[in-house]
C-alpha cells in the first residue's frame, strides 16, 4: 500500500485489520521523504515495454473511446453551438454551419496530437450521422 501521510496509513491499516482480522499481518511500513521518492523514481529509470500498450491496440482503444464519447456528445449541449446539441443545431442552416465549423475544429485539434492515436481519429461518421456529408465546406 502506498499513501501520502502517516495518518492515512494508520487509517487504512485499521480498516484492513477490522475487515480481515487475524487473516493478515500488519503491513511493512516505510516512510520516505519527497526527495527520497524523487531519487528512487529517477534511479529506476523508464521501464521499457513494461507498461507500453502495442500501437495497434492503443489505436483501437482510443477509437472505441472516442466513438462512445462523440456518440454521447451528439445529443448533449455544446457551448460552441450555442448550448444546443449537434443534432439540434444541424436542423437549421445557421446551425449546420456551426456544426461543420465545430467538427473541423475537433479534427484540427485531434490532428495536432502528432503521433498519438487520437491524431488518426476520423470524424467523417459524424457528418453522415448528422446528415451533413454533402454540406461540408
| Per-residue confidence in pLDDT tens, the chain, 137 aa | 676 777 777 777 777 777 767 777 776 777 777 777 777 777 665 555 556 778 888 889 889 999 999 999 999 999 999 999 999 999 999 999 999 999 999 999 998 988 777 888 999 999 999 999 887 65
Cell representation of residue 7: 495518518
Cell representation of residue 9: 496509513
**pLDDT for the residue 44:** 60
**pLDDT for the residue 73:** 95
**pLDDT for the residue 51:** 67
CA separation (Å) from 70 to 15, 32, 51, 104, 126?
41, 44, 27, 14, 8
**pLDDT for the residue 67:** 94
**pLDDT for the residue 47:** 54
Global pTM?
Answer: 0.59
Amino acid at each position: 500500500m502506498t499513501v501520502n501521510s502517516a495518518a492515512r496509513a494508520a487509517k487504512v491499516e485499521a480498516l484492513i485489520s477490522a475487515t480481515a482480522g487475524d487473516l493478515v499481518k500488519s503491513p511493512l511500513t516505510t516512510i520516505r521523504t519527497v526527495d527520497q521518492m524523487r531519487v528512487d523514481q529517477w534511479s529506476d529509470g523508464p521501464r521499457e515495454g513494461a507498461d507500453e500498450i502495442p500501437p495497434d491496440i492503443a489505436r483501437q482503444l482510443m477509437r472505441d473511446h472516442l466513438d462512445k464519447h462523440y456518440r454521447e456528445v451528439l445529443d448533449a449541449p455544446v457551448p460552441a453551438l450555442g448550448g444546443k446539441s449537434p443534432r439540434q443545431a444541424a436542423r437549421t442552416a445557421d446551425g449546420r454551419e456551426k456544426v461543420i465549423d465545430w467538427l473541423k475544429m475537433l479534427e484540427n485539434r485531434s490532428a495536432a496530437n502528432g503521433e498519438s492515436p487520437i491524431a488518426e481519429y476520423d470524424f467523417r461518421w459524424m457528418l453522415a450521422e448528422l446528415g451533413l456529408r454533402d454540406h461540408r465546406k
